[in-house]
Amino acid sequence: MTTHDQVAKRLLAVAVAATALASCGGAKAEDARIDVRADRTLHPVSRLLTGACIEDVNHEIYGGIYSQMIFGESFQEPAISPAIRGFKLYGGSWIAGQGVMRADGGDGPKLVSDYPAFADGATGVEIFFADRKGENAGLIVRVDKPGIGADSFIGYEVSLDPARQTLRLGRHRNNYELIRDAKCQVSVGRWIPLEVRLAGATIEILVDGKSVVLHDDARQSIPAGGVGLRAWFRQAAFRNLWVKRGDRTDRLPFRQDEPPKQVSGMWRATVRGGAAGSYALSHEHPWAGVQSQQMTFESGEGEIGMENRGLNRWGMNFARGKPYEGCLWVRAKEPVTLYAAMENGEGLRTYAEQAWNVAPGDWQRLDLSLTPGATDASGRFSLKLKRPGSVTVGYAFLQSAAWGRFRGLPVRRDVAEGLIEQGITVLRYGGSMVNHAEYRWKKMIGPRDRRPPYHGTWYPYSSNGWGIVDFMDFCEAAGFEYIPAFNLGETPRDMADFVRYATAAADTPWGRRRAADGHPAPYRLKTMELGNEERVDEAYAARFEALAEAIWSIDPAIVLVVADLCYGKRIQDPFHFDGAASGITTLAAHQRILRFAKRRQGEVWFDVHVGTDYPVRVNDSLDGMFSLADALAKIADGARHKVVVFEFNAGNHAQKRALANAQAINAIQRDGRIPVATSANCLQPDGQNDNDWDQGLLFLNPSQVWLQPPGYVTQMFSRNYQPRLVRCTTAGDEGALDASAALGEDGKTLVLRVVNSSEKPLAAQIRLAGFVPNRALAQVTVLAGPRDAVNTSCNPRAIVPQQSTWEHRTSDGKTSYAFPPLSVTVMRVQ
């Protein structure tokens, strides 16, 4: 691992070299040239090009910014499987009996054998599908570093899909990469032999003894690993799992030594002393969702309880002497004393405890107030009984008191301050989470302990504890502009109600509801997006118009955003093209929306998403976005409209993504037509990447937050914002340098932003016209490092911006600078 000191030394050496070169003034002939015409103002620069997109992908919200420390708050997760001899479970419900292993489906649970890792050999299993419902299930091979989460492992997926009659081969490196789908017969109602043969980079897959796929994964081959089972949203049964290496074949039997405990999946049963008890997931009159959790102390001496350790059971962060608060919703048939405690991870030390005498009857709220007597970054929260009795718990909420929250909101203070420090100017609350049928704004208001859980896009037991209104509360408190996105299935009446809720006076029905929820003044709502990454066709246009009519009838000033996707090719003819990710080949629906907006005198924006994989200068989606802006201008006929970018997307959070983000923002700034640009993803819990979006800007764990290189680009550009773009061109660098320049309103400050995407330092002559520096020293901020460098919890400052002063020695409007390899440089000259 590269240490911070090593990086600092390397950057210092680069800075010394750059200073030495700069001292030559304009006398030396450089390899490259940057021409800045400060006397040629091209257009204003939007303040909203340094934004982020936040959604619940990778638990940015539930387990991220949301102050709720308990994960599994409503006990909706199914019971976890008991230990299976010779295997480790990573999510889901796995039940063994009579030599058969049954998987209950879910979002990619894994059962991984303890069998030693191997490279070459063969493995196989028999699979039984009862019907054609659902997705796929099968083997995972060469498995390494497995964890909870659909894509949280390294290895190959070999799965069968009876609905589509296909065999799927995929590659996982804490993400998902489809290698190939192959048609084959996948029978239901009988056992199907599935075999995988591994030899170096070659993978052969046999179904029913017939070879279906022969693949050479040469350059991307995963070298070695274990074997396991995986299901993706479908039930399946497995038997006769085996591994063959050389002449030896080993059978891996399925043995479960104890019956499963009925404890909701994010909680664990605890027993102390000689106590005996039982657990049940009660479906009778649940507090929320479909079930609640019952625990019963039956006999003996000691304790019967259950404990929670937060997201992925990573542990909760307790601060000594700091108060924590929350609530429980419980019920009991007979009087019982319930205890809540803060404990260390093993339950051997109790830091704080509270008790209640629960009266018999229906659901009742218990208020939590706990102050731990020790600091622990990986603690747990426990509920327990110390004498015979039974209690049913429907909801549990725990958060720090005001000291650990941002301005009294249900928001982690350190995360909020990290976003402010990052220089965020605008947040979009959207993404695929809004596409789920159960995503509705009216379920996200009112007391959070009464909001219903729902089957979310990214997590099947999602919480409504933090939603659209909480997002707007946070943005207003933090000083960010904000853009919420809504499910396209919302009714026109509900969307009209939302605008009333957000903007009406406090003495109106919806205004009183808003005030009761803690926000007496109207929100400064300016923009709303309808949907996310939609196919913008006639059906979308009709739905958009219906919702827009309802919204604009209440507030015609609100800008409405069309949730478009991305364009991989330049659009020449607005009505005949290809390359759109949504599959559309015409902008006829866009034209219909523009005509509607013109009739209603409203303004519409079109949200286009752009890839920022390195290097972005050859990225077709960026060119496609600009061509969409050109095409819309041709067909708008006077309708007020703009193109915006609500997601920069990439598959990484490394320095290479920082370079690509910087190039994309530079290009958008030079173009001048795009008022908003936000990068996905805003947040990422460290180690949580179960759905191919390993691209967080601000990382977090239960006790700390830190920026990744792309997040520092946002910070550098935001802190050095200037409002007037001036002409800036590069030459002689073979496209390796990307530059943009902006001037202060008073003309006294010039900011030059330069990206060097090459692997070597590039010396450049800088020519300034129309600007004469008054100060001999310029402020220079450089973010440089290896292409794949990232910041970790152990070394959160491995790649950070380095600030210095530079004696530019400008003579005759000319100076020189050597830009470090793989760097983003911001120069502030006054």
How many other CB atoms are there within 10 angstroms of residue 538's CB atom?
10
By the 10 Å C-beta count (0-12 exposed, 13-18 middle, 19+ buried), 364 is classed as middle
pLDDT digits (tens, 9 = 90+) for 79-137: 887 889 999 998 888 889 899 999 988 778 999 999 999 999 999 999 999 999 889 99
Q: Which of 93-107, 432-446, 481-495, 743-757 has the lowest mean pLDDT?
A: 93-107
For the packed helices 709-719 and 655-671, what is the interaxial angle rounded to 10 degrees?
A: 30
Contact 465, 448 (CB under 8 A): yes
pLDDT beyond 90 at 18: no
Cis peptide before 240 (omega within 30 of 0): no
By the 10 Å C-beta count (0-12 exposed, 13-18 middle, 19+ buried), 19 is classed as middle
Q: What is the DSSP string of 692-736?
A: S----SEEEETTEEEE-HHHHHHHHHHHT--SEEEEEEEESSTT-
pLDDT digits (tens, 9 = 90+) for 551-567: 999 999 999 999 999 99
For residues 759 and 822, give the distance between their C-alpha atoms in angstroms, rounded to a whole number. 6
pLDDT at 691: 72
Which among 750, 734, 732 is positioned nearest to 742, based on CA atoms? 750
Q: Confidence band (pLDDT; 50, 70, 90) for 370?
A: very high
Contact 376, 318 (CB under 8 A): yes
pLDDT beyond 80 at 25: no
* Topology alike, domains 51-67+405-719 and 267-404: no
pLDDT digits (tens, 9 = 90+) for 603-647: 999 999 999 988 766 578 899 999 999 999 999 999 999 999 999
pLDDT at 30: 54
In Å, how far are 184, 517, 556 from 526, measured between CA atoms?
52, 20, 10
For residues 430 and 389, give the distance between their C-alpha atoms in angstroms, rounded to a whole number. 45
Contact 108, 91 (CB under 8 A): yes
Strands 640-649 and 677-679: parallel
* Class of domain 267-404 (CATH, top level): mainly beta
For residues 268 and 261, give the distance between their C-alpha atoms in angstroms, rounded to a whole number. 9
Instruction: Please state which CATH number belongs to domain 87-251.
Output: 2.60.120.560
Sheet containing 737-743: order of strands: 802-807, 777-784, 823-829, 750-756, 737-743, 724-731, 32-44, 762-769, 814-819
Q: Which residue has the tokens 């680009």?
A: 713
Q: Bin 646: left if φ > 0, else alpha if -120 < ψ < 50, else beta.
A: alpha
For residues 138 and 159, give the distance between their C-alpha atoms in angstroms, rounded to a whole number. 4
In Å, how far are 373, 376, 405, 415 from 322, measured between CA atoms?
9, 12, 12, 18
Q: Confidence band (pLDDT; 50, 70, 90) for 7?
A: very low
pTM above 0.75, yes or no: yes
Sheet containing 292-299: order of strands: 276-282, 292-299, 389-400, 324-332, 361-370
Looking at the DSSP bridge assignments, the partners of residue 250 are: 243
For the packed helices 468-478 and 413-422, what is the interaxial angle rounded to 10 degrees?
A: 60
Domain 51-67+405-719 falls in which CATH fold? TIM Barrel (3.20.20)
Buried b (16+ CB within 10 A) or exposed e, 739-753: bbbbbeeeeebbbbb
- Read off the tokens for 694: 């390993």
Q: Which of 257-261, 335-339, 404-408 has the lowest mean pLDDT?
A: 257-261
Q: Which helix (H) or strand (E) holds 249?
A: strand 248-251
Q: What does the domain layout of the chain look like in residue ranges?
A: 4-45+722-829, 51-67+405-719, 87-251, 267-404
- The CATH homologous superfamily of the domain defined by 4-45+722-829: Golgi alpha-mannosidase II (2.60.40.1180)
For residues 825 and 753, give the distance between their C-alpha atoms in angstroms, rounded to a whole number. 6
Q: Confidence band (pLDDT; 50, 70, 90) for 12?
A: very low
- Read off the tokens for 684: 């990422």
Contacts of 550 by beta carbon, 8 Å cutoff, 6+ apart: 492, 493, 495, 496
pLDDT at 52: 98
Strands 610-611 and 527-530: unpaired
Which among 473, 646, 499, 511 is positioned nearest to 51, based on CA atoms? 646
What torsion do the CA atoms of 297, 299, 303, 309 make, to the nearest 10 degrees? -40
